[in-house]
Structure 1
């Protein structure tokens, strides 16, 4: 099973693909695409293009499930409207399931269960990796 952890930030989604290898150990794949940006959230063509890019990414990397790090809906730390459009587009990718994980659960998981991060993991993919790893180990 391949899981894609997602962190939505501003106008882009950051993607980290993880799976269990033959030995049952978690591995992070290194796909050529690690971010997809939504250029203009008011353009139907751009929305369709973003969805098509997500679908292509899921097919290329054989993704079974997208796991999204949730954002607050209200308050000072609330996600913006564009980020919720991106979240919806992820949920619409054909042939893939979508799950959500809270920042609190990710923080707890990182402190208690992640012994080491993959070599050369870019900082901007840390939360996406954690989201995928969380879903993979928690079934």
Structure 2
């Protein structure tokens, strides 16, 4: 099963994809596309382009499930409005299911498990990778 973790930061959707087999063995897939940017969240054309790029990414890579790391809605660490817009666009994809994963779940998973990040994984992808691992 191909799974994709997503972390939303500023105007970027950061992706980390891996396969999980029946024996729960995780195999990271180092894809050329690691993030998709929403250039102008007030431009219909840019929003449509972002949506199309996300759908193409999911379809082309045969993603079966997406896990998005939730952001706080209020307080000091609240996510920006653009990230919530991107989250909604990803949730509306017609390729696969999307699940939101709380930061607490991701942090708890990381504390309870010795996580060895794949050497091909970029530092900025670690949050997305952990999100999918924690939820998968």
2: CA distance between counterparts of 1:115 and 1:6?
A: 18
Could you list the per-position Cα deviations for residues 55-101 of structure 1 after superposition, in whole angstroms to 9, with x for gaps in the alignment? 11001111111111010001111111111000001001112111011
Does the aligned pair in 2 maintain the 1:18–1:133 contact within 8 Å?
A: no
SS in 2 for 1:121: coil
CA spacing shift, 1:95–1:120, aligned 2, 3 Å: closer
The CA deviation at 1:24 is 3.8
Length-normalised TM-score, structure 1? 0.92
SS in 2 for 1:51: helix
In the comparison of the two structures, how many residue pairs are matched? 136
Does the aligned pair in 2 maintain the 1:3–1:135 contact within 8 Å?
A: no
2: CA distance between counterparts of 1:91 and 1:74?
A: 21
| Alignment map for 1:1-139 (pairs within 5 Å) | 1-21=1-21, 24-136=24-136
Unaligned runs of 5+ in 1: none
SS in 1 for 2:120: coil
CA spacing shift, 1:25–1:125, aligned 2, 3 Å: same
Unaligned runs of 5+ in 2: none
CA spacing shift, 1:115–1:79, aligned 2, 3 Å: closer
Aligned-CA RMSD value = 1.3
